[in-house]
Structure formats: structure tokens, C-alpha cells
Amino acid sequence: MPRPWRRAGLVAAPLILAVLWWAPLPAPLPARHAVAIAAFMIVLWATEALDHALAGFLGVFLFWALRVAPAEEAFSGFSSETPWFLFGAMLIGAAAGKTGLARRIAYLVAARVGTTASRLLLAFIVVDFLLTFLVPSGIARVTLLAAVAVSVVEASGAGRGSNLGRGLLIIVTYTAALFDKMLIAGAASILARGIIQDVGKIQVLYSQWFIAYLPCDVITIFACWWLVLRLYPPEGNVDQGLAHLRQRAAELGPWSAAEKRAALLLSSAVGLWMTDFLHHVSPSVIGLGVGLLTLLPGVGVLKAADARSLNYGALWFTAAALSMSRVLTRTGGLDLLTGVLVGWMDPLVKGPLSSAVVLYWTAFVYHFFLANETAMLSTSLPVVLRFAMERGMDPLATGMIWTFASGGKIFVYQSAVLIVGYSYGYFDARDMLKVGFALTAIESLILLLLVPLYWPLVGIG
């Protein structure tokens, strides 16, 4: 965010807190006070005036210090399973990155699938999807795949501004942000799962989420491939780039012991997640359990220093967001926000088809104002779920649609993942607008097929 916007947030947040604290709203005092503090947090998150974790900490502290909620409730998100699921996923991703397993998979799949310029593009999209299981961070995947893509582009003699460079870099970037919503893998989907369970009072299975979006995964892979080939047909001869890719794959050599251990641990986690409908062990337990195994001497591949280098701010932000949701629910503040923010949707929601359209495009527009995906979900998803439950709608379907819609973006500022990809200089804002809007529309059409026709077959809706 621009610096003036951040300064405005620092001024506006306490002002909004004060105004709403004493405003004569038609609600009980605890609800009004909870909404005032939540608005304070939302403004700080929206303007990025403070680090997201710090803004969240301030909010939950105020819930406690101003006696809106007792300490055990104000900080309840920190005892929730959701942040620890994210911690386990971060450890798993660190293991895949440190051992070179993720890079090996990237080179091997890209070299085998990418035998022509067209198939090279498909290979990077497929690798991006496969790595979502192992590297639950869009930023980490973009950093890894963009480096590989840039080396291929440069070896081909193309450069910044070339169709090959623009097509490869923009699709690697965009799909990294998109696939995180189709699996419970990234911070956004892990947070959404926790909110859906908290507000909806239902169990959300990893396997059910995966199966629900499986057709979307397949269609999206080929839709992205078709779109980028149409918008950015690779120019010239890319044989040298393909040869470079095959050479780098051949240079990897035999699997190291660390890679084998990481592959065993990570495949165990994925296998257990995919079968949680049989054993009913929480995905959080599996993720954290396997994550901790990666740190054990003789079994794992990480050291304590690797754990200390993780982004713990993401954990604290997730916990604070869940705390806010729980305080709003208990005090009745969520009921107040439901009437104010989404009451206008009531006459438009008539059935599964209209619900999918209204929810998807409302979330898409709302995302303009909250650039960070997790901030967007934490501030809006509890309200949307309450709205849906009051009207007899399935909270799981509602939450999944709203979460999925957060993947639709047309501006670089809407995601840190997009900013990282954009920083390589191979595509510009016009490319993002063009590709982003086309894919947002395509994903909306896919959702119109999934929600009324496919999801009821897998027990959703």
C-alpha cells in the first residue's frame, strides 16, 4: 500500500473505534463494543498501516483490556487447531524446499512434459499444481518456479517483454495464488477452514475439499494453458530453452538421503489427508504431526534454526483473526454486521445457482478493498456464514465459494504472491488485468457447474 494510505489507516482506525464505541447502534453494548474493535482491526488490515500480525494482536488485546471478552475468549484463536495446522504445513514446505525435493519435482516434471513450447507452458502449470501439496505457500512456489522459468526464457534467447517470458511468468504467478484455494494447503484456505468450523459448527475434511474442487483443478489447468497460448503465443525457436531444462534435470543426480526422507514424510502427510474420511484424524493433527517429525534427529530433515526462520507472523495473524470471529459471535456483534454488510444480498439469493453467482462476484468486489487474502477472509467470512445459516444455506458450500472467490484477482496489489511474480519484470499491470479478469470469469463459469450439479453428489450443498 502507498505510504499516505497507511498513514490514513493509522489515523482512521482509532477514530472509527471511538465513533463506533459510543455510537447509539441498535444492539447490546457488548456487541457494539466488539464491532468497534473489529472495525479497528479491519481498517489496519485493509490499509496495511501496521503489520497484519501486530494489528491482530492489538485487536485481541483490546477485546481483553476493555473487558469486551475474558482473556480465554479474546485469545481463543491461539488455542485453536487452525494456526497449528498452518505451522505444520509451513514445516512441511520448508522440508520440501531445503532438501531440494520441490526443485527436483519441478525440473523432472517440466523436462518430461515440456517437449514443445506449448507443452512447456502446460508443464509449468501442472508442476505448480503438484507442488501445492508439498509447498503450502504461493510465494515460495512462485520464487521456485519463476527462477526455473526465467532460466528457460533466457536460454531460449527471449527476454522481458517476449510472449514466452510474459506467458510463463504470469501463469506461474497467477496459478500459485489460485491453486491454494482448491486445496486446504495455503494460509488462506487453512484459515477459511478454521472459520467455517468455528462459525458453521461442522467438520471440514481435507479429502472432501479436494474432491469438491477436483474437476475445477483439471479444467483450470487446461483453461490456463489455452488462455495463455491464445494471448501470448510463444515466438521463435525455444529448442535451446528446452535443452537447458533437460540438462538441468539430468544434472540433479541421484536422490539424496534427505530427499528420500522428505519424500516419505510428505507423501505420508498427503496420504493421510486424502483418507481422512476413513480414519477421521483431523488434518491439523496430521499436518503438525508430520511437521514435527521433519525436525526430529535421524528422522527429519530440518534443524531448529530452520524452524526459527519461519514466518511466525502468519500464525499470529491467523490466530488473531479467529479470535475476532469468536468474540463477534459470542457478543452478538456478528449479527449486527450481518444485517449491515450483506442484507442487500437477501433478495438475490434464490437457490444454488444464484447463490454461487452472488457470493462469488460479491467476494470478488470485496477483495478490491482488502488486498491481503487472509485479511479479506477473516473480516468477511464469519459474516457471510452467519448470513447463509440464517437462510438455511449450507455453511460449507457458502464458505468454499467465498474462499474460492478470493483467488480471483485483476490487480497486482491484491496478493503478495502476485507482487513477487510481478517483481521479476516479465509482465506488467495490463497483462495482469487481462489474464486476471479472463480467469476470474472462467472460474465463475466452472463454479456454476460445480455448485448445483457436482457438489450435491459429494455431500456439499
Of 147, 129, 234, 236, nearest to 186 by C-alpha is 129
Tell me what percent of the residues of the chain surpass a pLDDT of 90: 46
pLDDT of residue 370: 62
Tell me the C-alpha distance between 71 and 60, whole Å.
9
Query: Which cell numbers hold the place of 443?
Result: 472460474
| Contact in structure between 206 and 273 (CB atoms under 8 Å) | yes
Per-residue confidence at 365, pLDDT binned at 50, 70, 90?
confident
Which letter, b or e, does each residue of 119-144 get, where b requires 16 or more Cβ atoms within 10 Å of its Cβ? bbbbbbbbbbbebbbbbbbbbbbbbb
Task: Assess whether pLDDT exceeds 90 at residue 126.
Answer: yes
Q: Which residue's entry shows cell 467465498?
A: 402
SS3 53: helix
Read off the pLDDT of residues 343-361 as tens digits, 9 standing for 90 and up: 677 777 777 788 888 899 9
| Contact in structure between 62 and 323 (CB atoms under 8 Å) | no
pLDDT of residue 10: 93
Task: Assess whether pLDDT exceeds 60 at residue 1.
Answer: no
Read off the pLDDT of residues 181-194 as tens digits, 9 standing for 90 and up: 999 988 889 999 99
Of 336, 318, 325, nearest to 374 by C-alpha is 318
SS3 228: helix
Of 39, 450, 430, nearest to 232 by C-alpha is 430
Dihedral angle of Cα 216, 207, 361, 376, to the nearest 10 degrees: -130
| Contact in structure between 234 and 118 (CB atoms under 8 Å) | yes
pLDDT of residue 341: 61
Of 288, 382, 295, 271, nearest to 83 by C-alpha is 288
Looking at residue 275, what DSSP letter applies? T
Q: Cα 450 to chain center, whole Å?
A: 20
Task: Assess whether pLDDT exceeds 60 at residue 267.
Answer: yes
CB atoms within 10 A of CB 409: 26
Query: Which cell numbers hold the place of 366?
Result: 470485496
pLDDT of residue 54: 92
Q: Which range among 16-25, 228-237, 333-342 has the greatest average pLDDT?
A: 16-25
Which letter, b or e, does each residue of 294-325 get, where b requires 16 or more Cβ atoms within 10 Å of its Cβ? bbeeeebbbeeebbeebeeebbbbbbbbbbbb
pLDDT of residue 3: 72
Q: When comparing pLDDT for 77 and 239, which is higher?
A: 77
Per-residue confidence at 273, pLDDT binned at 50, 70, 90?
very high
Query: Which cell numbers hold the place of 253?
Result: 543426480
Q: When comparing pLDDT for 371 and 73, which is higher?
A: 73
pLDDT of residue 236: 66
Task: Assess whether pLDDT exceeds 90 at residue 315.
Answer: no
pLDDT of residue 414: 76
**Mean pLDDT for the stretch of residues 278-282:** 91
| Contact in structure between 329 and 199 (CB atoms under 8 Å) | yes
Per-residue confidence at 369, pLDDT binned at 50, 70, 90?
low
Read off the pLDDT of residues 245-263 as tens digits, 9 standing for 90 and up: 888 888 888 999 999 999 9
Read off the pLDDT of residues 136-163 as tens digits, 9 standing for 90 and up: 778 888 888 888 888 888 888 777 878 9
Q: What are the angstrom distances between the C-alpha of 396 and each of 183, 392, 403, 460?
A: 14, 12, 10, 7
Tell me the C-alpha distance between 414 and 302, whole Å.
32
Least confident of 179-188, 237-246, 285-294: 237-246
Average per-residue pLDDT for the chain: 88
Task: Assess whether pLDDT exceeds 90 at residue 16.
Answer: yes
SS3 243: helix
CA angle 75, 398, 403 (to 5 degrees): 65
Query: Which cell numbers hold the place of 281?
Result: 484424524
Q: Residue 367: what are its φ and ψ, rounded to 5°?
A: -65, -20
pTM, to two decimals: 0.84
pLDDT of residue 342: 66
Residues 6+ apart with CB under 8 A from 278: none
Tell me the C-alpha distance between 244 and 46, whole Å.
43
Helical residues (DSSP H) of 251-311, grouped into ranges: 257-274, 276-279, 283-293, 304-308
Per-residue confidence at 72, pLDDT binned at 50, 70, 90?
very high
Per-residue confidence at 371, pLDDT binned at 50, 70, 90?
low
Tell me the C-alpha distance between 338 and 387, whole Å.
6
Task: Assess whether pLDDT exceeds 80 at residue 207.
Answer: yes
CA angle 294, 297, 298 (to 5 degrees): 95
Residues 6+ apart with CB under 8 A from 18: 36
Per-residue confidence at 332, pLDDT binned at 50, 70, 90?
confident
Read off the pLDDT of residues 394-452 as tens digits, 9 standing for 90 and up: 999 999 999 999 888 887 767 778 878 888 889 888 898 899 999 999 999 999 889 99
| Cα atoms in the Cβ-side hemisphere of radius 13 Å centred on 291 | 24
The span from the first CA to the last CA of the chain, in angstroms, equals 37
